[in-house]
Amino acid sequence: MEDAAERFRRIAGIVGVILGVVCIIAMGAYLVATANPVKPGQTVIRWVVDPNPIRKEQIKLFESRHKGIKVINDPGAEAQRLLTQLAGDVPPDVMALYDPQTIRLFAKNNVLLDLRPYVKKYNLPIDKLYPQLKPYIYYQGQIVGIPENCGPYVLFYNRKLFREAGIPYPKPGWTWNECLQAAKKLTKYKVIAGRKVPIQKGLYVSNSDWWFFIWMYGGRLFSPDGKRCTMDSEAVKKGIRFWASLRLKHHVMPTSSEAQSMAPTGSWGSEALLFRESKVAMTISGRWLAIQYREQKDLDWDVTSVPHGPNRVTLLASKSYAIPKTCRHKEAAILFIKHLLSLENQLLVANYGDGIPSINTPEIKKAFLWNPEYPNERNNKLHLDEMKYAQVQEYSPYINNVDVVAIMSFELDRMWLGEQTPDEACERIADRINAIIRRNMANPNFLD
């Protein structure tokens, strides 16, 4: 048995590691906040969000109107990093939370400032946000976050490749079967050293974008009460079978190794690079990828709806900006969130290509529909039209999203490797997730 001295040393070691991690994070936060000179009397707030190029413009615009506040962009927006910062009492001032389940996790742990008292005082236009964004805003009646932009997933397609293949451009409302037929004609191979090597694939769908295929036949990831994962339902299995067939049977989607070999700069083969370099003819994502596609001057692209099965549905992505209760500069943080919802910033989002502005007003819609700097983007209205088919990802209150993502990734990877069938993957996912749900329902402490 472990004696008292050894047990003490082991516990002290664990505590030391935790304190070390907190100190490192605190030092990192300090270095981020002090990377640029600060004028005497100036308030510095730390904005934790992805390093999208638009951030510099947003900060510049805000600081031009609030001379006494300086904003530092800290790009480390992972949920675990944020939770560790909060536990170490080095909170950010404004932080991005990227899905409803993560927002709920933070709100459930009582670390988010309820913004209701500030809506009227600071004239925050909550009533003008798209109603589909409610899961990004509310938790048990509280306003815990504010979405600044959003976007339904759409299908980007390469007009030049369609013309060369003699295929009519796809129209909104088309089906997955129509997409498959087009993708077959858009897939090309070349014989190198006696081996058939893909040089162009018809379609790319990220391994993490499985929502379309869960929903396309009316399936769900969870039961309405969240107490059961329903990946093992026939509706879900049918959708996952079709998704798998695109790569494993019809070979119109690149495998992971093919994507890596086709990626133009030795990168990991993201849909942005593959589509941008005309290695795939179609890809599914949100409007934010337009920022990258604009940089490829000879890329002739347009958008249409995500193909559908019996149900026409697409995924709505957004992020919510929240303020920790322990924020040191609440007034400055609220002013910054108000700035993100301002007409000037919303017009910046509209013109930059970073999704759809979350404020739904005629003036902002008009700016979104047409940007004279990018005259070839002739179909921006589609993003707005697809909002009526968009829904946010499902979540269960009885399991953390990190567990769901880990299980889905592992079992679907085994499907792609041929180690199990799509039906077996669905059954394994349901079994593993339901085991965690049952455990967490029996002992809610596991959720924390």
pLDDT by residue for the chain (448 residues), tens only, comes to 444 334 434 433 443 434 344 444 444 544 444 444 556 678 999 999 988 888 999 999 999 999 999 999 998 878 888 988 998 999 999 999 998 988 998 998 899 999 999 999 999 999 999 999 999 999 999 999 999 999 999 999 999 999 999 999 999 999 999 999 999 999 999 988 888 889 999 999 998 899 999 999 999 999 999 999 999 999 999 999 999 999 999 999 999 888 888 876 544 335 578 999 999 999 999 998 898 899 888 999 999 999 999 999 999 999 999 999 999 999 999 999 999 999 999 999 999 888 999 999 999 999 999 989 998 898 999 999 999 999 999 999 999 888 999 999 999 999 999 999 999 999 999 999 999 999 999 998 877 6
Alpha carbons 152 and 312: distance in angstroms, whole number: 12
Residues 46 and 335: beta-carbon distance below 8 Å: no
> What is the structure's pLDDT at 163?
98
Residues 217 and 238: beta-carbon distance below 8 Å: yes
Alpha carbons 182 and 166: distance in angstroms, whole number: 10
Residue keyed to tokens 């190794």:
257
Domains of the chain by start residue, with CATH: 36-148+319-391 (3.40.190.10), 154-316+396-447 (3.40.190.10)
Residues 263 and 246: beta-carbon distance below 8 Å: no
Structure tokens at 106: 């933070």
| Burial profile 397-415: b = 16 or more Cβ within 10 angstroms, e = fewer | bbbbbebbeebbeebbeeb
Residue 402 has, within 13 A of its CA and on its CB side, a CA count of 9
Residues 411 and 382: beta-carbon distance below 8 Å: no
Residues 99 and 393: beta-carbon distance below 8 Å: yes
Q: Return the closest-CA partner of residue 267 out of 284, 301, 292, 248.
A: 292
Q: Return the closest-CA partner of residue 98 out of 357, 319, 402.
A: 319
> Greatest CA separation found in the chain?
78
> What is the structure's pLDDT at 24?
44
> Model's pTM, two decimal places?
0.86
Distances (CA, A) of 102 to 45, 107, 202: 22, 9, 34
> What is the structure's pLDDT at 419?
97
Going through 21-90 in order, the beta strands assigned E by DSSP cover 43-48, 69-74
Residues 236 and 216: beta-carbon distance below 8 Å: no
Sign of CA pseudo-dihedral 299, 304, 305, 309: negative
The letter for the amino acid at 12 is: A
Alpha carbons 313 and 316: distance in angstroms, whole number: 10
